Amino acid sequence: MALCDFLITDNIAGYDCENPASKGVDATGYIVNRADYDVSYRANFLVNLVAKCGGKRAYKVVQPGKTPFNGTQQEMVEGANQNTITNTVQIVVLKQDENWAQQLFALMNGEFIVVLSKPGQSPQVYGAEAGLHCTGAVRELYNDDTLAGWQITFTEEGASRGNLFMMGSDFATFKTAVSSDCPAEP
């Protein structure tokens, strides 16, 4: 059977007692500049997320509180020939000082991949197909939820896969390399 037959191939179970459903994600995720990484995938699994120079960094995104990355979602968009997925990832940037202004500018104008995980499940990758781009940034000075930080919304439109996962061993390798830097360019 070809992948493009669009036929279901398994039962749609209501509940899995061994792997119960749960909402939310871990408070720590990772963000990378999409241009720094080569990406390849097969079906719904990321096969490769490797730094082009052998060591570009992945940066931790820490979201404290009870609902980290609140507002992150996936939505199907009906198309004329094929339906697609719009991935949305929200983060809150709490750091507010003059030294961080350049990072904020980069977040608002760059293209990214974000990896989010939770215990017992393969980490989910957002932005691997078309890149995540900032589609909204709001800073409310008296907002109790964001503590006057920037709430930034990243969106990837036109993704062909609803869920793109990173295998556990690949995620362990990825996390080990998050602090490595590329050698200085000549």
Kindly tell me the sign of the dihedral angle through the C-alpha atoms of 20, 24, 30, 32: positive
Residue 106 lies in a domain: yes
Q: Is 142 within a domain? A: yes
64 contacts 28 by C-beta, under 8 angstroms: no
Residue 7 lies in a domain: no
Interatomic CA distance for residues 115 and 164, integer angstroms = 10
pLDDT, tens digit (0-9, with 9 covering 90-100), for 131-172 = 999 999 999 999 888 888 899 999 999 998 888 888 765 677
46 occurs within a structural domain: yes
First to last CA, the chain: 50
pLDDT for 154: 98
Please give the pLDDT value at position 92. Answer: 93
Separation CA 149–CA 62 (nearest Å): 13
**Helix, strand or coil for residue 36?**
helix
**What are the DSSP calls for 104-127, one per residue?**
HHHHHH-EEEEEE--TTSPPEEES
Its domain, for residue 72, covers: 26-160
User: Is there a domain that residue 61 lies in?
Assistant: yes
Is 64 within the bounds of a domain? Answer: yes
Q: How confident is the model at residue 173 (pLDDT cuts 50, 70, 90)?
A: low
> What are the percentages of helix, strand and coil residues in the chain, rounded to 5?
15, 35, 50
Q: How far is it, in rounded angstroms, from Cα 129 to Cα 39?
A: 8
Give residue-wise pLDDT tens across range 102-134. Answer: 889 999 999 999 999 887 778 889 998 999 999
- Of 169, 134, 120, the closest CA to residue 31 belongs to 134
Write the pLDDT tens digit of every residue in 47-92.
667 677 755 678 889 998 889 999 999 999 999 888 999 999 999 9
How many domains in the chain?
1
**Residue 10: inside a domain, yes or no?**
no
pLDDT band for position 4 (50/70/90)? low
Amino acid identity at 21: A
Q: Is 175 within a domain?
A: no
Instruction: List Cα–Cα distances, 97 to 5, 93, 118, in angstroms.
Output: 53, 11, 31
Whole-structure pTM value: 0.84
